[in-house]
Amino acid sequence: MQEHVLPAESEYFALVPNHSDWRVWKQPPVMEALKTKARKEGLWNLFLPNPEYGPGLSNVEYAPVAEIMGRSAIAPEVFNCSAPDTGNMEVLLKYGSDTQKQRWLTPLLSGEIRSAFCMTEPDVASSDATNMRATALIEGNHVALNGRKWWSSGIAHPHCQLLIFMGLTHAAASRYQRHSMVLLPLDTAGVKIERVVPVFGSYDAPCGHGEVTFTNVRVPLDHIVGGPGRGFEIAQGRLGPGRIHHCMRTLGAAERALDLMCRRSLQREAFGKTLAELGGNADLIADARIKLEQARLLTLKAAWMLDEVGTKGARSEISQIKVAVPNIALEIIDRAIQIHGGAGVSDDFPLAKLFGNIRTLRIADGPDEVHRALIAKLELHKYQSRSVASA
Ligand SMILES: Cc1cc2nc3c(=O)[nH]c(=O)nc-3n(C[C@H](O)[C@H](O)[C@H](O)COP(=O)(O)OP(=O)(O)OC[C@H]3O[C@@H](n4cnc5c(N)ncnc54)[C@H](O)[C@@H]3O)c2cc1C
């Protein structure tokens, strides 16, 4: 990170434009050079606990590594650990057939291609995955896809070839068995990227977040992952370990912000004192350190629970860090911006970009409110069982 990745950031960002014409976006060559170096060092597919595909780290072991990667927006791709590919690889590993694995998992694992996950729709509240209205209807030996998706992250990347589409298959079935997940090549007839959606004015080139239409798209039936009707189950499974990677990385972003805050507050002087000595700035630095350590320990606990009892047993802890970590990180980054004055909101420091990226997590990884609802439900459940109530 120190020798290769952080010094390459300026070269990378100088080559990615901030405009909406995604057709001309290119992968900066420095990224491919960094990927080659990382792979040679064995720093590759670090997120997968299975030793067949990487070093085989547990979630607790991966957490500090992901945190280090979180210091730079370009690092996850360097080590083939970036979303949405990580979640998509997990889906293929867990639910994919041998043919699906051979066609899509192999090139994703080697970093040759990238992928997108198309679940969210502009017309329905997508924090509830059972709401999706786009259809994936079985017609003989084919499945026909129709509908509009948006926030399909990574779809505009020049290397994106695979889409995972979630659609309604059995409208009359139970809410949790209505949908299917379908694999399809991006260049299938009927798939159209209508636009890339900006985030706080940034198009996030060269990945982009697409609004995409699917019009009478037809693919063979064997493109369904895990069988028809398992879309909701897969959507939940996809949000297992992959779900806490963002939190682990967010700690790294917060740590970088605190580092910048300390340096700036010691280097700069106003009213005859360093910024660190003025007002309550030293307290703000102390509070940032306290909250960051709390957030890290909670994240490690969630990672440990995932290792020990699996996704289901760790549901509350996963949701707890989803709420706690981005909120704490945003508070720290905001303070770091403040201590930098005007420079903090400019592009001369990574703080404004970090703030924008992490603010989206309070929505993109499931809104805070949805996580709080689950935590409260699990907490109250302990008191609602008959034996506890009578005791
Ligand atoms: C940068 C970014 C990248 C994304 N990448 C992807 C991607 O790659 N693929 C993909 O499919 N989607 C992606 N998403 C979409 C993301 O998953 C959804 O935005 C998210 O699930 C929320 O859905 P929604 O936007 O429809 O909000 P809605 O469901 O309309 O919710 C809006 C608000 O309603 C409130 N709310 C919802 N439920 C509750 C509740 N139970 N209690 C109280 N209040 C509630 C919350 O304040 C919530 O923020 C991305 C989003 C962003 C911003």
What's the rounded Cα separation, in Å, for the pair 109 and 125? 32
Could you report the per-residue pLDDT of 326-345, keeping only the tens digit for each?
A: 999 999 999 999 999 999 99
Residues facing residue 114 across a β-bridge: 160
Instruction: List the residue whose alpha carbon is closest to atom 36 of ligand 1.
Output: 369
Percent of the chain with pLDDT strictly greater than 70: 97
Instruction: List the residue whose alpha carbon is closest to atom 18 of ligand 1.
Output: 364
Q: What is the pLDDT of residue 127?
A: 93
Decide if pLDDT at 386 tops 70: no
Decide if pLDDT at 387 tops 90: no
Decide if pLDDT at 44 tops 60: yes
Decide if pLDDT at 389 tops 70: no
Instruction: List the residue whose alpha carbon is closest to atom 22 of ligand 1.
Output: 127
Q: What is the pLDDT of residue 260?
A: 98
How far does CA 276 lie from the centroid of its chain?
Answer: 34
Q: What is the pLDDT of residue 113?
A: 98
Could you report the per-residue pLDDT of 109-141, keeping only the tens digit for each?
A: 999 999 999 999 999 999 999 999 999 999 999
Question: Per-residue confidence at 281, pLDDT binned at 50, 70, 90?
Answer: very high
Q: Which alpha helices (H) appear in 268-314, and where do they start and end? A: 281-313
Higher pLDDT, 290 or 391: 290
**Distance from Cα 373 to the centre of ligand 1, integer Å:** 15
Q: Any idea which residue has 């210091």 for tokens?
A: 71
Tell me whether residue 383 is exposed, middle or buried, using C-beta atoms within 10 angstroms of its C-beta: 0 to 12, 13 to 18, 19 or more.
exposed
What's the rounded Cα separation, in Å, for the pair 189 and 142? 14
Q: What is the pLDDT of residue 175?
A: 94
As given in the structure block, the two tokens for residue 38 are 């990382």
**Distance from Cα 118 to the centre of ligand 1, integer Å:** 13
- How far is the CA of 96 from the CAs of 143, 180, 240, in angstroms? 17, 13, 16
Q: Which atom of ligand 1 is nearest to the CA of 121?
A: 26
What's the rounded Cα separation, in Å, for the pair 54 and 93? 13
**Distance from Cα 358 to the centre of ligand 1, integer Å:** 14
Q: What is the pLDDT of residue 384?
A: 87
Tell me whether residue 313 is exposed, middle or buried, using C-beta atoms within 10 angstroms of its C-beta: 0 to 12, 13 to 18, 19 or more.
exposed
**Distance from Cα 386 to the centre of ligand 1, integer Å:** 35
**Distance from Cα 355 to the centre of ligand 1, integer Å:** 18
Q: What is the pLDDT of residue 54?
A: 86
Torsion 116-118-121-124 (CA) sign: negative
Pocket of ligand 1 from Cβ distances under 6 Å:
84, 117-120, 125-127, 151-153, 199, 209, 360, 363-364, 367, 369-370, 373
As given in the structure block, the two tokens for residue 335 are 């303070």
Q: What is the pLDDT of residue 364?
A: 93
Q: Are 137 and 124 in contact (CB under 8 A)?
A: no
What's the rounded Cα separation, in Å, for the pair 68 and 330? 18
Question: Per-residue confidence at 241, pLDDT binned at 50, 70, 90?
Answer: low
Reduced to 3 states, what is the DSSP secondary structure of residue 279? coil
